[in-house]
């Protein structure tokens, strides 16, 4: 953002940075992709963590359908916005969509959601009380719950 400092940082370096809370520089989206919102845009409808499905890609907008919450099924437009990270030793700004691909989520992020199909990766044991229960109870039908654990066993923290 400071023109005097711009010469110190090549564009390739700036594009390689992925500060917390910011999407990657290059975001490859397709119609039907599942994405997650990284900023509060229109609370309570569009909040940080809202999952969406891409419906249409336009030059400066993403048309998407909300997948979770009270506004489930509603069509919304996500614009490109200026994003300025605060945890860097210098200031820079990117004009980008405040979304990230959402092919997986943590157990804590899934709490309170209902999923049609759920896959749980237990290569590492759950680390706190109740996490295994939360992971397994996100899907309504046991036949749609798929669990991967080394040797078919995991440690349940109680």
Mean pLDDT of the chain: 83
Q: Are 126 and 153 in contact (CB under 8 A)?
A: no
Residue 11, pLDDT > 90, answer: no
Q: Give me the mean pLDDT over the 77-90 stretch.
A: 84
pLDDT tens-digit series, residues 17-70? 777 767 777 888 899 888 999 888 888 889 888 889 999 999 899 999 998 778
CA–CA distance, 3 with 157 (Å, rounded to integer): 53
Taking alpha carbons only, the member of 77, 72, 70 closest to residue 54 is: 77
Give CA separation, 61 vs 47, 58, 74, 93, 95, in Å: 17, 5, 16, 19, 12
CA–CA distance, 72 with 115 (Å, rounded to integer): 13
Q: What is the pLDDT of residue 4?
A: 66
CA–CA distance, 36 with 39 (Å, rounded to integer): 9
Q: What is the pLDDT of residue 75?
A: 96
Contacts of 121 (CB under 8 A, 6+ apart): 148
- Domains (range + CATH), the chain: 6-101 (2.30.30), 107-152 (no CATH)
CA–CA distance, 146 with 124 (Å, rounded to integer): 16
Residue 2, pLDDT > 80, answer: no
Q: In 83-113, which positions are buried (b, 16+ CB within 10 angstroms) versus exposed (e)?
A: bebeeeeeebebebbbbbbbeebebeebeee
pLDDT tens-digit series, residues 109-151? 777 777 888 888 888 877 787 888 888 888 888 899 998 888 8
Residue 103, pLDDT > 70, answer: yes
Higher pLDDT, 81 or 105: 81
Q: Could you tell me how many residues make up the chain?
A: 158
Global pTM? Answer: 0.64
Q: Are strands 75-79 and 61-66 parallel, antiparallel or unpaired?
A: antiparallel
Residue 106, pLDDT > 80, answer: no
């Amino acid at each position: 953002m400071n023109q005097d400092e711009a010469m110190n940082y090549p564009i390739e370096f700036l594009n390689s940075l992925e500060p917390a809370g910011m999407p990657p520089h290059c975001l490859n989206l397709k119609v039907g992709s599942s994405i997650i919102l990284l900023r509060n845009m229109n609370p309570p409808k569009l909040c940080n963590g809202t999952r969406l499905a891409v419906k249409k890609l336009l030059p400066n907008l993403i048309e998407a359908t909300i997948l979770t919450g009270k506004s489930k099924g509603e069509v919304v437009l996500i614009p490109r916005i200026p994003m300025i990270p605060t945890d860097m030793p210098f200031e820079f700004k990117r004009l980008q969509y405040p979304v990230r691909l959402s092919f997986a989520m943590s157990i804590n992020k899934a709490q309170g959601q209902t999923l049609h199909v759920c896959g749980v990766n237990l290569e590492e044991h759950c680390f706190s009380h109740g996490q295994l229960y939360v992971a397994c109870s996100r899907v309504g039908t046991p036949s749609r719950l798929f669990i991967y654990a080394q040797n078919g066993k995991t440690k349940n923290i109680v």
